[in-house]
Structure 1
């Protein structure tokens, strides 16, 4: 094992890695290795085991391990052949034919997060709740705890435990992200998908910016002060966006599973969180997703509500239910409301949100130095000049011109075929929005989450110095559709040319 690590380090050195990175890697390896490891004995054991193929057996569950679980459910710990790892499985409502699989998020509680939910589900459904490998009562084998690997485990669970072909998959937080990935990789395997405060979906730069941004839409503050705060936040966003295109230390582990497993493999939450950060959910094919229900806490600071709105934009059959005063774990903070929403989500119809525009308005909207900050409804044209507090909510405008302004918009439609939108020295944060025609940018910045461009290529043209942070973004022309995610820096070029 140590020989393999040293050989890999030598390969990196031969390729010309600088001394600083070599030292970092060596320190990581030394820090992670057990002090009392006997490498000779380890090698001898592996040599003696050659040719042997013992059948892995999971340790039986003990009464102490099941202390916090109700006695009326069925429990077992079995080995998952896909990874030779132990898996804790809880089953309830065994008499029902329709199966609901519950996938938990990060944290030590694992399947215990669902204990307030299972009794309500078990009255109508066969319920299967698991502890993902590495969590709870499924600790054992160490591998990369990524959505890709966990999806293989979930597929095995569905094949092993489902009572009928109709299977519903419910995931919370990291489990929501894993469930979303599973639905993409295994189309047709589940009937309905329910995502509860799914985490890790947005681009990491967009998420970090969210954590650092304050709510400037506070009417009790003087407008002059809110303008100052908006400028400060805008400057902070500029700094944070530069990290999206700079050196990312986490990528040292991305291409080397042996280094990852040796340094952070047994640190389950870190392993899983890092693997989740590396997954680009923007490139998934959302057109093949099953009917999806989104249940979200409005006050969630871990997976902001913006994530749900962006997901609803790209999922063709989806509905969003928001619990206004709930945070990241609504099934524990608001169990009664959550259980009602979940049962409705598993049974009710899901309809398409796509609706054609019928904008015939001749209204022109103006903003100069924030004399008008909130826009909604239909417009022929909107012009923003030196406005730092502008918000669009359900705006439909055929034309937009911005200069020295900051705009936040959601659930909107901007532009039309053949129209050019000019953005100069400005910043746009857009969610669940359509952009039609062509957008020109000069010295401007964009944070798009759940945004679709429609038109002829090139659809986004930088005339000078433009930064973009993209999450769940698409560019659709008459001949092709491109899914985009990540951070981009453009000089005088189109976004398409940078791909």
Structure 2
């Protein structure tokens, strides 16, 4: 009994610490957004109105700036015409025909993040790495550091530096998000795409929920404690979901580039992070994106692994590889394994995902108060009642009924054409999942990432008080295809009517 109390106390302590950390992060984030940098606002406004902006000047690269780079690479700082911004460009393996372009993520190191990768690539490829405007050795440039704007810089870079035909584009973290945006706009430029721990892809509410939630599947915790913790996390998620549909102070900058530039324009990481959060990746067209290799750190606490599975769901030709013990920067923590995986990916063909086998099971699945919480394989019907720890992993079920439960669904197919399923007073978190027929919700909440609805419209009907957080979600009916992302609150209405 004493050990149980100690464990419960430790769990409660971790819960309070996690909640406190989340509140501190929120306060710091809002402070960074609201407080302006030290700048002469009147001078900025005067230059903007009078047209006295000076043309950018290029400072020569100094030995001190290149001290961390190998001496046998080629370096230059040039003007990117898309934004008249000074950009640092590194090249290696100039003797090779096929070009690999590397795009870094947030942080002051910029292209230095790739220094453990470039020597391996340069043995077979012409390698081009860039410091995005505002980062590293690229001199400051004041504009919105969004994936859309950075894609223009990348397009100039590829056009200017590629050796022959298409290139292989490799992006990490924010750079991976920029790369997938670029590939969706200019698929003809890319032979293969490699995404490494892509950040900012999920809806912001889904992302905050994920990083503020602990893993309750610890074997040393009794089921009664795990059920209580699941309820606590559910309450925290509910609060975060409400904030997702409320006032967001960061959106003040979305429609006013002048205000953004005068307040946070020179704070590169804040500027780029906010612009990344504002980009709705769910509405991009992924059908034309070239073959995509997805490499992820299994212990990534910055870009949750859930993002990788959601991307794999929407990318028609994609393959996911996970480095289990790696975090957000696998090329640094596990360089040998990462480099081997990257080279193999660049030389590999991607086969389409295999279709699910035909459903022919008569199996029944039931759960009451978590007497059976794990489900996998084929079922004719599953009924859940008061199950707070239910998990569907690779489930194919024809008929589903859920009441007063919390369910996590992954890599599954739910429902069947021309039939409906009932979800009552429950919470469903689904990733990489297909939903067939019609889903009916009564006072329930849903977090979907990489989910596709198939059926006759309406595919989702709220009977009362439903909240949805959608990332990379699609509705495909006989007459149309709709891409969805964001937070929705439904009364008595269909999801389609709220669009």
Q: TM-score, normalised by structure 2?
A: 0.91
The runs of 5 or more residues in structure 1 that have no matched partner are 1-26
Structure 1's 45 and 271: CA in aligned 2 closer, same or farther, altered over 3 A? Answer: closer
1:34 aligned to which of 32, 36, 39: 39
In structure 1, the residue matched to 2:19 is none
What CA distance in whole angstroms lies between the structure 1 residues aligned with 2:381 and 2:404?
17
SS of the aligned residue for 1:67 comes to coil
Q: CA deviation at 1:49?
A: 5.7
What CA distance in whole angstroms lies between the structure 1 residues aligned with 2:420 and 2:357?
18
The runs of 5 or more residues in structure 2 that have no matched partner are 1-31
Contact 1:173 1:303 in 2 (8 A): yes
Alignment of 1:158-177 (within 5 A): 158-177=158-177
1:167-213 residue CA offsets vs partner (Å, 9 max, x unmatched): 00000000000000000111211110000000000000000100111
Contact 1:383 1:401 in 2 (8 A): yes
Q: CA deviation at 1:352?
A: 1.0
In structure 2, the residue matched to 1:17 is none
Contact 1:367 1:373 in 2 (8 A): yes
In structure 1, the residue matched to 2:5 is none
Q: CA deviation at 1:46?
A: 8.2
SS of the aligned residue for 2:273 comes to helix
Larger CA deviation: 320-329 vs 185-194: 185-194
1:380-400 residue CA offsets vs partner (Å, 9 max, x unmatched): 000001100001110000011
What CA distance in whole angstroms lies between the structure 2 residues aligned with 1:193 and 1:119?
20
What CA distance in whole angstroms lies between the structure 2 residues aligned with 1:82 and 1:401?
54
What CA distance in whole angstroms lies between the structure 2 residues aligned with 1:288 and 1:477?
20
Contact 1:364 1:380 in 2 (8 A): yes
Q: CA deviation at 1:29?
A: 9.0
In structure 1, the residue matched to 2:240 is 240
Larger CA deviation: 211-220 vs 473-482: 211-220
SS of the aligned residue for 1:195 comes to strand
What CA distance in whole angstroms lies between the structure 2 residues aligned with 1:466 and 1:343?
46
What CA distance in whole angstroms lies between the structure 1 residues aligned with 2:68 and 2:101?
20
Contact 2:211 2:304 in 1 (8 A): no
Q: CA deviation at 1:479?
A: 1.3
Q: CA deviation at 1:351?
A: 1.1
Contact 1:408 1:429 in 2 (8 A): yes
Larger CA deviation: 350-359 vs 458-467: 350-359
What CA distance in whole angstroms lies between the structure 2 residues aligned with 1:48 and 1:447?
48
Alignment of 1:67-78 (within 5 A): 67-78=67-78
Q: CA deviation at 1:256?
A: 0.6
Contact 2:364 2:382 in 1 (8 A): yes
In structure 1, the residue matched to 2:302 is 302
Q: CA deviation at 1:34?
A: 2.6
SS of the aligned residue for 2:412 comes to strand
In structure 1, the residue matched to 2:377 is 377
Structure 1's 55 and 464: CA in aligned 2 closer, same or farther, altered over 3 A? Answer: closer
What CA distance in whole angstroms lies between the structure 2 residues aligned with 1:99 and 1:388?
50
In structure 1, the residue matched to 2:403 is 403
What CA distance in whole angstroms lies between the structure 2 residues aligned with 1:46 and 1:207?
39
The answer to whether the aligner puts 1:427 opposite 2:427 as a matched pair is: yes
In structure 1, the residue matched to 2:216 is 216
Q: CA deviation at 1:61?
A: 0.3
The answer to whether the aligner puts 1:366 opposite 2:371 as a matched pair is: no
In structure 2, the residue matched to 1:462 is 462
Structure 1's 31 and 471: CA in aligned 2 closer, same or farther, altered over 3 A? Answer: closer
Q: CA deviation at 1:33?
A: 5.4
What CA distance in whole angstroms lies between the structure 1 residues aligned with 2:52 and 2:365?
76
The answer to whether the aligner puts 1:329 opposite 2:326 as a matched pair is: no
Q: CA deviation at 1:418?
A: 1.0
In structure 2, the residue matched to 1:102 is 102
What CA distance in whole angstroms lies between the structure 1 residues aligned with 2:49 and 2:280?
37
- Count of residue pairs the alignment pairs up: 469
SS of the aligned residue for 2:137 comes to helix
SS of the aligned residue for 1:287 comes to coil
Contact 1:397 1:414 in 2 (8 A): yes
Q: CA deviation at 1:244?
A: 0.7
In structure 1, the residue matched to 2:445 is 445
The answer to whether the aligner puts 1:227 opposite 2:227 as a matched pair is: yes
In structure 2, the residue matched to 1:9 is none
Alignment of 1:282-301 (within 5 A): 282-301=282-301
In structure 2, the residue matched to 1:484 is 484
SS of the aligned residue for 1:458 comes to coil
Contact 2:103 2:111 in 1 (8 A): yes
Contact 1:33 1:262 in 2 (8 A): no
Structure 1's 415 and 260: CA in aligned 2 closer, same or farther, altered over 3 A? Answer: same
In structure 2, the residue matched to 1:253 is 253
In structure 1, the residue matched to 2:475 is 475
Alignment of 1:176-195 (within 5 A): 176-195=176-195
Contact 1:29 1:259 in 2 (8 A): no
What CA distance in whole angstroms lies between the structure 2 residues aligned with 1:380 and 1:235?
32
Structure 1's 473 and 29: CA in aligned 2 closer, same or farther, altered over 3 A? Answer: closer
Structure 1's 48 and 32: CA in aligned 2 closer, same or farther, altered over 3 A? Answer: closer
